[in-house]
Amino acid sequence: MRQIENFIAGEFVASASGKRFDKHSPLDNRIICSVSEAGRGEVDAAVRAARSALQGEWGGLTTEQRIELLYGVANEITRRFDDFVEAEMSDTGQPEHVMKHVFIPRGAANFKVFADVIKNVASESFQMDTPDGRGALNYSIRRPKGVIGVVCPWNAPFMLMTWKVGPALACGNTVVVKPSEESPQTAALLGEVMNAVGIPKGVYNVVHGFGPDSAGEFVTRHPQVDAITFTGETRTGTAIMKAASEGMRDVSFELGGKNAGIVFADADFEAAVESFSRSVFLNTGQVCLGTERVYVERPIFERFVQALKVKAEAVKYGRPDDHQANYGPLISQEHKQKVLSYYRKAVEEGATLVTGGGVPQMPGELAEGAWVQPTIWTGLPETAAVVQEEIFGPCCHISPFDSEDEVVEKANATDYGLSTTIWTSNLARAHRMAGRIDVGITWINSWFLRDLRTPFGGSKQSGIGREGGVHSLEFYTETRNVCVKL
Ligand code: NAD
């Protein structure tokens, strides 16, 4: 069993209280890590280390020196690629190929991409007229915001954490990271990388624990944390926003979704089915951008339902390193119970169960894991709980539609507004619809294609702010104006 400690001022430290918690494997519920739970004292030490790094060596580096170090971090992650893949597989139970091809390479890329952004970004300037005719020149400068509290989820832990730590450090901030209690390992490994590369002590700190009355709340309530970036559930975002209001701290939020996918009869049918088999079932449905509501134009409705059913029934359950397998468990027993409660609710609400709806028979010790079947329902009204609430599991409800106006109205009839995927060969219609659906990200004839220079975030209750490319600078820097009278 691994021992995971907090990482404060460049040292791995257990909490003074001796409090620890167990991390269980999603595969078979075995205890795989004993994790030190940070108390107020450890969180305070981490925040103080982060602040003194700002005022010390880190704050004194040139942009060029910082960029060099961040390239070093990316290269060291790549050198220790197998360790990161193994740690992330162990925490999440998800297939090795997803770790190798998406989650870990993206984690390394997050340091390079934002180092490049900082290198290339221009500042704004305005010349203005003045009554004496001599004029004035305004220009903006960017300064780091300070100590950033980074609170992360478990669903793609390393990729989502570095998506915040990369730009935060590129902009010259320091961070105190609170990883999810379900995925402590890669955040700890990144501490080793920071030390190996020579990132000054206190720039990157990690405190482990839970949310309320634990490390999450202690970080977000700490008065010396200057701003908070959070990815997770909308309800948690509400609690963090209240904490951030003390001291007027800025927030950047990437929250939940209940994303609609729309398929018109003129779409490339096979490509659409293939894409929905990913957007509904990838990562066992634990993708914030995934599709839980599918709307299919009536002439192809039955055919589409049957085709997606075939895909759902073809998933291969197995351990991450089983190369025949492409489908893992949910993250935890607790999440399994939540997803299964929605599986029951769908039936109670009168859904037609197309496939799944339960727990698969797993061999041997895997029977103790957090496995659930990929599930499809039809026949529910738009008001049903499983059509309105984020389940975050491998499931979707499919309904037919007859017109563009009708499907736009349905897609928008939710408190969330994260992403949508629209399938049609009529590009005029696709562009028109992209402007009408209230989400941060619209994919047309695709899903999950991400250019890291583009703005990423949610509308309505799916988020506040945009991160990605230069958009990340809005949150991770303070822009100041300098006005020079000529
Ligand atoms: P969660 O909100 O339960 O937990 C996220 C983090 O917040 C964890 O580290 C947790 O310990 C911490 N936390 C919980 N309560 C807290 C509190 N009161 N104060 C401070 N910290 C607290 O979310 P999760 O279950 O880990 O992740 C799944 C959710 O994340 C889903 O809703 C999903 O849609 C969302 N998500 C969104 C995006 C996006 O980009 N919009 C990406 C991934 C996941």
pLDDT tens, position by position, 135-192: 999 999 999 999 999 999 999 999 999 999 999 999 999 999 999 999 999 999 999 9
DSSP 132: T
Domains of the chain: 2-255+462-485 (3.40.605.10), 259-451 (3.40.309.10)
**CA-237 nearest atom, ligand 1:** 2
The pLDDT value recorded for residue 129 is: 98
Distance CA 375, CA 342 (A): 11
**Over residues 257-282, mean pLDDT:** 98
- Ligand 1 in reach of 300 Cβ (< 6 A): no
**Sole residue written with tokens 């939940």:** 256
Residue nearest to atom 30 of ligand 1 (CA): 232
447-457 pLDDT per residue, tens: 999 999 999 99
What is the rounded average pLDDT of the residues 73-78? 98
Q: Is the CB of 209 under 6 A from ligand 1?
A: no
Distance 428 CA to ligand 1 centre (A): 37
Is any atom of ligand 1 closer than 6 Å to the C-beta of 357? no
Q: Is the CB of 220 under 6 A from ligand 1?
A: yes
| Cα-based distances in Å from 182 to 56, 90, 91, 187, 229 | 33, 11, 7, 12, 19
Q: What are the residue numbers of the active site?
A: 254
Per-residue pLDDT of 281-293, as tens digits, reads 999 999 999 999 9
Mean pLDDT of the chain: 98
CA geometry: angle 450, 456, 457, nearest 5 deg: 140
What is the Cα–Cα distance from 458 to 355, expressed in whole angstroms? 31
User: Which atom of ligand 1 is found nearest the CA of 331?
Assistant: 25
Give residue 50's pLDDT: 98
pLDDT, tens digit, 9 for 90 and up, residues 14-66: 999 999 999 999 999 999 999 999 999 999 999 999 999 999 999 999 999 99
Taking the CA of residue 463 as reference, the ligand 1 atom at the shortest distance is 41
Measured from the CA of 179, which atom of ligand 1 is nearest?
Answer: 9
Phi, psi dihedrals of residue 13, rounded to the nearest 5° = -130, 140
Read off the pLDDT of each residue in 423-435 and give the average, rounded to a whole number.
97
Tell whether ligand 1 has an atom less than 6 A from the beta carbon of residue 256. yes
Indicate whether residue 180 lines ligand 1 (CB < 6 A).
yes
Give the model's confidence band at 342: pLDDT under 50 very low, under 70 low, under 90 confident, else very high.
very high
Position 418 scores a pLDDT of: 98
Q: Can you give the pLDDT at residue 323?
A: 93
Ligand 1 and 392: CB distance under 6 A: yes
Pocket residue to mutate for ligand 1, from 35, 176, 180, most atoms within 8 A of Cβ: 180
Residue pair 40/218 in contact by the 8 Å Cβ criterion: yes
In 3D space, the residue among 378, 394, 294, 376 whose CA is nearest the CA of residue 335 turns out to be: 394
> pLDDT per residue over 347-360, tens digit each?
999 999 999 999 99
Q: Which helix (H) or strand (E) holds 3?
A: strand 2-4
| β pairing state of 416-417 and 459-460 | antiparallel
The token duo for 105 is: 């390479």
* Averaged pLDDT for residues 237-241: 98
Taking only the tens place, the pLDDT of each residue in 124-134 is 999 999 999 99
Quote the pLDDT of residue 41. 98
Compute the distance between CA of residue 5 and CA of residue 20 in angstroms, rounded to an integer.
9
- pLDDT value at position 151? 98
CB of 150 closer than 6 angstroms to any ligand 1 atom: no
Question: Contact at 8 Å (CB) between 432 and 408?
Answer: no
Q: How far is the CA of 188 from the centre of ligand 1 (A)?
A: 19
Ligand 1 centroid to 435 CA: how many Å? 28
